Amino acid sequence: MTQRILITGGAGFIGFHLARHLKSAGHEVCLADNHVRGVRDSDFLQLVSDRQAFSVEVDLLDPGDAMSLGENFDVIFHLAAIIGVRHVQERPYDVLVHNTRMLENVISLAQRQQPSCRLLFASTSEIYAGTLKHFGLSTPTSEETALTVTALDLPRTSYMLSKIMGEAMVQHSGVPFTIFRPHNIYGPRMGLAHVIPEQLKNAFNAAPGDAIPVFSPKHRRAFCFVDDAVEILARMAFSEACQGATLNLGAQTPEVSIRELVQMCIEVSGKTLTLNELPSTPGSPERRAPDMRATAKLLDYEAKVGLRDGVSRTWNWYRDNVFATDGLTAQ
């Protein structure tokens, strides 16, 4: 059955891939974005080239703009937010106020839809950072983990707080909902300010024999390729069992060191390079991996794309569309 779906932040990394996945399944998709970070590249223009997927320029901070999106959606994915370390460090007040205000307007929009319309809210794995700092954290990390905030005067706390506040707002909104907490999703078109595309770019620019700089080489992460992430999200949206649930989004295994990850980036580039191991980045957790058992049980699905395969696919896309051509990707 065809569903009418709204994705805020639809021109961004996950929003774009989710829209393409849902369109291929026969659904009608509206991609709402202000295009501050999401770009109108050739892939995006191709996606919205027919009526089955269409783009709307919208300022979600404006209640009137949000309401103008309409009242006949079956599912709303709210992905729009101020994110990224640089933005959070430079604009912590805006992160708190704008992320909350956008969600408030999207909730008001959701409340005007038919009663069965599901709101899926993108939280973050960062909400576990305070618990890790003050009490320690089991890894892989369960959704049942108690939440604690980091110091309020730290700019980075603003993003965590905006998402914790967002989860509470959704919980008490009176609309059907699913909350998901993404963990290290990666793939084509995600921008360059992330470890995998950043290291792939380093490998592309390096001459044979050069050393690649690697911060936090012993820290460990579990990465999830975007194709698996959007398959999980689509299943969440149409699963009655996921209504009212808060779930991790990612891959539980393999958990690899940053050193191993960068070595993999070098291997897929086909170059002979070495590693220049540097100190750990302040504030970076030593381990981060989601406990995916609850999500897998509800959806009967686990991430399938292997890390080497996913890194190779990401390399091929960035090499052909960005590195070799100075093409656009997300900001």
Q: pTM to 2 decimals?
A: 0.96
Cα 185 to Cα 39, 102, 143, 147, 226, distances in angstroms: 19, 23, 17, 22, 6
- Does residue 224 have a pLDDT over 90? yes
pLDDT tens-place string over residues 18-52: 999 999 999 999 999 998 888 888 899 999 998 89
- Does residue 100 have a pLDDT over 70? yes
Greater model confidence, 50 or 112: 112
Sequence-distant (≥ 6) Cβ neighbours of residue 271 within 8 angstroms: 203, 206, 208
Percent of the chain with pLDDT over 90: 90
**pLDDT band per the 50, 70, 90 thresholds, residue 331:** low
pLDDT at residue 193, as a whole number:
87
Boundaries of every domain in the chain: 4-186+225-250
Report the candidate in 215, 225, 220 with the shortest Cα–Cα distance to residue 190: 225
Query: Is the separation of the CB atoms in 250 and 303 below 8 Å?
Result: yes
As separate numbers, helices (DSSP H) first and strands (DSSP E) second, the chain gives: 12, 14
- Mean pLDDT, to the nearest integer, of 191-206? 95
pLDDT at residue 330, as a whole number:
73
- Mean pLDDT, to the nearest integer, of 222-249? 98
pLDDT at residue 84, as a whole number:
82
Tokens representing residue 210 in the block: 């050069």
pLDDT at residue 177, as a whole number:
98
**pLDDT band per the 50, 70, 90 thresholds, residue 309:** very high
Which architecture, in CATH terms, is 4-186+225-250?
A: 3-Layer(aba) Sandwich (3.40)
